Amino acid sequence: MAREEKPYRVYRGGRAKGKVPTATRTGRARRESGGGRGDGRREVRTDYRGPGARSGRQQEVRWGRRIAIGTAVLVVLIVVWGVASWFAFSSGVSDANRRLDPNAKSALTQQSGLLLSHSTTVLLLGTDNARVGGREGDRHSDSILLLRTDPSHHRLYYLSIPRDLQVPIPGFSTQKVNAAFQIGGPALAIKTVRQLTGTDINHVVVVNFADFKDLIDALGGIDVNVPKPIRSNRFDCPFPTQARCSAWQGWRFHKGEQHMSGQRALIYSRIRENMLDPSESDVTRGARQQQVMDAVGSRFTSPVTLIKLPFKGGSLATPLTTDLSAGQLVQLGWVKFRTSSGESVHCRLGGDLGGSGTGSPSEDNPATIAMFLGKTAPQPPTGQLNPGCVIGHTLQ
């Protein structure tokens, strides 16, 4: 019987000697058309990752979902923070609006348009009814400062008015300019300053010095660059006994950049007599007040303050009395934020201030007011008590 050909092949068991060959791919393991090579042989798939493995597309979808969820949570938190900040701040500002005498609002020059894009002039008044011996009922404006914004040029203008200038007070006799607030409150102060400077005043902010230090403390303090050493006289002695006050030599401030608490900033802004420099006067004090107001404005617009708004937004307006709404204050803050301190213009009025510290306004004041309004280039003062303007730093 002839041996028939078997219909199958017999393979020899075991493996050949040598290294185990590794699987390599010289082409795609499976063709998009159906997976054959076209020559009758079947290719082996080598990209299998085992059960439960995710494809690259699935991993991309998973990470995409995580990013989307994280972004949504962040947006929700920002919205909640913004709403809480706004309600806290606007509540405090509403209280500050109610504290303003309606007569003061009628004395202001009304203005249309956003503060973000239109120049505006704000009168800043600091009252000296501090809680110290004998001055609780004093309502003189210890600080008189005009602030003008110039959003189109990202610049701020400051104009200090010495409180001891003798000027006509509308409806009353010629007196020191700071007496206007004592006589008729912010309304008469607005009219007096407008008559003195010939400048329309759009808004007013009255800062109560009794609470001023609390405002600065709520902001976390301010940074001030003191231009020269200061030793004040013995005003507002911090000690309880007369003996200790007599031995005390006054408040001291060293030269250079320093961080000030509310109490230190308040003292610094009110120093009128520097025992280390007898040439200083009320005009010099106005420069220090500009420094403090500028530093407070910078702190208002800092990221640290913005983070604290939901918790301290209401207390920030406690020392203020103003016609400015919460939205307008935010706009002013944005204008301040976009302004370079090196571009700010600091001006002061001057006068014939004799030995008594009082006197009539300088006849060069109108030229300085024109600089403050941006009509002429800033020119520095020619003397210790003369008017003038400088760019980028406060007058000393």
- Work out the percent of the chain whose per-residue pLDDT is above 70: 77
The model's pTM is 0.74
- Residue 62 scores a pLDDT above 70: yes
- Grouping H, G, I as helix, E, B as strand and the rest as coil, residue 65 is helix
Closest CA to 224 of 160, 308, 294, 150: 294
For the four alpha carbons of 33, 35, 37 and 40, in that order, the dihedral sign comes to negative
The tokens describing 322, both together, are 């103003």
Distance between CA atoms of residues 81 and 88, nearest Å: 11
Give the helix, strand, coil percentages of the chain, each rounded to 5. Answer: 40, 15, 45
- Residue 142 scores a pLDDT above 50: yes
Q: Determine the pLDDT at residue 30.
A: 47
- For residue 81, name the pLDDT band (cuts at 50, 70, 90): low
For residues 207-211, average pLDDT: 78
Q: Determine the pLDDT at residue 26.
A: 46
- For residue 17, name the pLDDT band (cuts at 50, 70, 90): low
CA torsion 237→243→244→247, rounded to 10°?
Answer: 90
- Which residues are bridge partners to 361 per DSSP? 351
Closest CA to 203 of 350, 339, 96: 96
Contact 289, 160 (CB under 8 A): yes
pLDDT tens by residue, 382-395: 887 889 999 987 66
- Residue 117 scores a pLDDT above 80: yes
- Residue 150 scores a pLDDT above 60: yes
For residues 106-110, average pLDDT: 94
Distance between CA atoms of residues 318 and 89, nearest Å: 10
pLDDT tens by residue, 28-45: 444 444 455 555 555 555
- Residue 291 scores a pLDDT above 70: yes
pLDDT tens by residue, 261-282: 999 998 998 888 889 988 787 7
All structural domains of the chain: 81-220+281-391 (3.40.630.190)
User: At CB < 8 A and 24+ separation, what contacts does 374-380 make?
Assistant: 374/148, 374/150, 374/157, 378/345, 378/347
Tell me which residue has tokens 């303090």.
Answer: 221
Q: Determine the pLDDT at residue 151.
A: 93
Q: Determine the pLDDT at residue 141.
A: 76
Q: Which residue has the higher pLDDT, 66 or 41?
A: 66
pLDDT tens by residue, 301-349: 777 776 766 666 677 788 889 999 988 988 988 898 888 777 889 999 9
Distance between CA atoms of residues 143 and 358, nearest Å: 15
Q: Determine the pLDDT at residue 366.
A: 95
Distance between CA atoms of residues 347 and 267, nearest Å: 22
CA angle 136, 138, 142 (to 5 degrees): 115
- Work out the percent of the chain whose per-residue pLDDT is above 90: 35
Distance between CA atoms of residues 155 and 338, nearest Å: 9
Give the start-end residues of each E strand in the chain: 121-127, 141-150, 155-160, 166-168, 174-176, 203-208, 222-226, 230-231, 252-253, 256-260, 320-322, 345-348, 388-391
The tokens describing 111, both together, are 């203005």
Where is 71: in which H helix or E strand? helix 56-98
Q: Determine the pLDDT at residue 300.
A: 77
For residues 124-143, average pLDDT: 65
